[in-house]
Amino acid sequence: MLLLAGLLVMVTAAPASAHARLIGTDPAEDAVLPARPAAVVLTFDQTIQAVTDGVTLFAADRPPRPLPATAVGPTLQVPLPDDLGQGTFLVGWQVRSDDAHPISGVLEFSIGHRGPPPTGPQPTATDTAEPYRIVAQALAYLGLLVAIGLAVFDGVLASVPAAARVRRDTRLRHRLEWTGAAAAIAGTIGLAVVAGVTGAPIFTPLLVVLLVASGLALLLAVPDRGHRAGRILAGCGAVIAAASVLPIGHTRTKGPAWLMLPADLLHVLVGAIWLGGLIGLVIVLGSTRNERSDEPDAGPAATVLARFSVLAGTAVVLLAVTGTVQALLILPEPRALIDTGYGRTLLVKIGLTAVAAAIAFDNHFRLAPRVHATGAGTAGVRMLRRAAINEAAIIALAVVTAGVLVGLSPNLDDRSPRPGESGDRAREFTATLDTVTLQGRVEPGRVGGNAVEWTIVDAKGRTARLVETPRLRAIHRASGLGPIVGTTAPSAAGSYRSTLDLPLAGTWRFEFSARMSEFAEPVTEVEIEIAP
């Protein structure tokens, strides 16, 4: 079962960029066309999938009309009806990226002249279902972590001889394990239902349900986790169940897979050990009683806490390491932590985890040794239990934020300019062209017409002599669009001015070639970021 789970996960893991990004439209946004185009073409930075009834045409003088759409690689082609007429139109579109996340938007254009603004699109099924997806994802994560963590805690507790008097709560812990397993299965089934309602492919959600159900069934079926064989079987079940997080979300679409997949799997497992173990600890502390009286005996509970704290401390370190690896692989650059909703939500999760880690540190190095040394009775047990409850509650909130993260995009392309930052700004560049240097700037650095002013100088700073006018062409890196050949003419001694009409935002590769002699024509490349 473990090998099968690993095989299924690897088969469904494909390299791609999480959340497709719209990088171009034909016609352009807010364009006024002289005649009806045959089709609307949307171009993305990766392969996309069409959604049933995912495109709707809106006009001021007629009700919304669904349009057929065909996905061809990274483009969505939408034929327009012949009776479109003149005026302003909105095309509401929705597609799915390779990681199964929905992407939607609206394109506005006019034919003949601008007309009255049409009524915009109403919320789509995906928009309506998003709150339910977040709830189902959070329920699945919480249930999964509780079931796995309690099972691990039970195995640890079973091997602590000094804690024999606190094992009377085994039945309660097992009930909570089954409750967590039921919640995990219900949550993953809910994700499958949401996928079906929104028209998403159903195979991946069903694979997640299969992994969760089979892994937790094996985990909970182990009769005795105190022996080596029981621990091995329980560990296999835990790994299979935890592997259910791999086919969905950003892990599936960010690479390298050999690093990202193990990091995510280990991240889930150590998070489960931490959260589920704390819940088990709260139960133990609530049922601890002295054999000769009803007075709580903190000694055995402190022994359990000390044993668990070693495991939890290791889990915290591994959680930080694997979380850092995932963040580095998912976020395109550091500023995405501030400039994207994904980054800000990730910061909230990191903050919650840090607070919980601080509480755990205090419990391990201050509170537990003091209670164990003094046998503080009722007061000691209450302090231990209160600290464990606070720690578990904060981790549960961090798990909920993880459920929100799955539906957010870490991409930076759609961000608005920062305060004081203009979208129109010159892009300056310098490159080596054989034995000479190329210097220039691109203005305004936005989609549309751009002027490229560039100069070629030798090692002494003098303008280089060329046999003929140099050439410039541009290719869009993400889509491969191009080459777009610029019109180049001398503007001054040794300086040239080129004009380029760039239809897409993103990174463009500018290729400069200059004939230095009859037999030498060096070529150099520079990458220029063009704003929307």
- pLDDT, residue 90, reads 82
pLDDT of the residue at 278: 82
pLDDT of residue 157: 62
Interval 83-100 mean pLDDT: 79
The answer to whether 264 touches 245, Cβ cutoff 8 Å, is yes
120/90 Cα distance (integer angstroms): 7
How is 406-439 classified by DSSP, letter by letter?
Answer: TTS----TTPPPPTT--S---EEEEEEETTEEEE
Mean pLDDT confidence for 236-244: 89
Provide CATH 2.60.40.1220 ranges for the chain: 19-118
264 within 8 A of 322, measured Cβ to Cβ: yes
Distances from the Cα of 325 to the Cα of 3, 252, 311, 319, 380, angstroms = 25, 14, 21, 10, 38
Rounded average pLDDT over 7-28: 59
pLDDT digits (tens, 9 = 90+) for 99-115: 666 777 778 888 888 87
pLDDT above 90: residue 185 = yes
What one-letter code names the amino acid at 475?
I
Q: What is the DSSP letter of 215?
A: H
Q: Say whether pLDDT at 48 is over 80.
A: yes
- Give the pLDDT score at 12: 40
Task: Assign domain 127-405 one CATH number from 1.10.3230, 3.30.750, 1.20.1630, 3.30.160.
Answer: 1.20.1630
Residue type present at position 457: V
Residue 107 dihedral angles phi and psi, to the nearest 5°: -110, 130
Q: What are phi and psi of 57, to 5 degrees?
A: -100, 135
158 with 227: CB under 8 angstroms?
no
**pLDDT of residue 121 exceeding 60:** no
Closest CA to 404 of 331, 319, 345, 472: 345
- DSSP assignment, residue 213? H
pLDDT surpassing 70 at residue 293: no
- In sequence order, what are the residues at sequence separation of 6 or more whose Cβ sits closer than 8 angstroms to the Cβ of residue 420? none
Residue 287 above 70 pLDDT?
Answer: no
SS3 115: coil
Q: Which of 85-89, 212-216, 292-296 has the highest mean pLDDT?
A: 212-216
Fold of 19-118: Immunoglobulin-like (2.60.40)
Q: Quick one: pLDDT at residue 442?
A: 86
- The backbone torsions φ and ψ at residue 9, rounded to the nearest 5 degrees and listed phi first, read -65, -45
H or E segment to which residue 455 belongs = strand 448-457
- The one-letter amino acid code at 527 reads E
Q: What would you report as the CA-atom Rg of the chain, rounded to the nearest whole angstrom?
A: 30
Q: How many CB atoms lie within 10 A of CB 459?
A: 9
Find which of 1-10, 28-37, 224-233, 327-336 is predicted with most confidence, using mean pLDDT.
28-37
Domain(s) labelled CATH 2.60.40.1930 in the chain stretch across 427-530
Helices (DSSP H) in 331-446: which residue ranges?
A: 336-339, 341-362, 368-374, 377-405
Residue 421, pLDDT above cutoff 50: no
427-530, which class in CATH? mainly beta
Strands 506-513 and 523-530: antiparallel
Which of 114-118, 191-195, 233-237 shows the lowest per-residue confidence on average (mean pLDDT)?
Answer: 114-118
Q: What DSSP string describes 262-323?
A: HHHHHHHHHHHHHHHHHHHHHHHHHH---TTSSS--HHHHHHHHHHHHHHHHHHHHHHHHHH
Q: Which residues pair with 526 in a beta bridge?
A: 510
Indicate the average pLDDT of the chain: 76
**Bridge partners (DSSP) listed for residue 72:** 75
Contact indicator for 145, 219 with CB cutoff of 8 Å: no
pLDDT category of residue 425 using cuts at 50, 70 and 90? low
Residue 156 or 448, more confident: 448
pLDDT value for 60: 75
In the predicted structure, residue 141 carries a pLDDT above the cut 50 = yes
Contact criterion met (CB below 8 Å) for 191 and 129: no
Which of 110-114, 178-182, 411-415 has the least mean pLDDT? 411-415
Dist CA 157 CA 430 (whole Å) = 65
Q: Is the pLDDT reported for residue 290 higher than 60?
A: no
Categorize the per-residue pLDDT at 8 as very low, low, confident or very high, splitting at 50, 70 and 90. Answer: very low
Instruction: List the structure tokens of 189.
Output: 């089934």
* 279 phi and psi angles, rounded to 5 deg: -65, -45
Question: How far is the CA of 455 from the CAs of 329, 442, 496, 507, in angstroms?
Answer: 38, 12, 6, 22
pLDDT at residue 3, rounded to an integer: 45
Max mean pLDDT range (40-54, 110-124, 369-383, 405-419): 40-54
Q: Where along the chain do the CATH 1.20.1630 domains lie?
A: 127-405
- Judging by beta carbons within 10 Å of its beta carbon (0-12, 13-18, 19+), is residue 19 exposed, middle or buried? buried
Please state, for a pLDDT cut of 70, what percent of the chain lies above it: 75
Question: pTM score, two decimals?
Answer: 0.57
Confidence of residue 182 (pLDDT cuts 50, 70, 90): very high
Contact 40, 31 (CB under 8 A): no
Percent of the chain surpassing pLDDT 90: 3
Give the model's pLDDT for residue 420.
37
- Cα–Cα distance for residue pair 92/123, rounded to 1 Å: 10
- Model confidence over 309-345: pLDDT tens digits? 777 778 788 888 888 888 888 777 777 778 777 788 8
Confidence check: pLDDT of 17 > 50 = no
Backbone dihedral angles phi then psi of residue 387, each to the nearest 5 degrees: -65, -40
Average of per-residue pLDDT across 119-143: 74
**Residue 523 neighbours by CB distance under 10 Å:** 12
Q: Say which range, 64-78, 120-134, 473-487, has the weakest mean pLDDT.
A: 120-134
Q: Which contacts of 435-443 are long-range, i.e. CB under 8 A and separated by 24 or more positions? A: 435/459, 436/464, 436/514, 436/516, 438/512, 438/514, 438/524, 438/526, 442/510, 442/528, 442/530
Kindly tell me if the per-residue pLDDT of 169 is higher than 70.
no
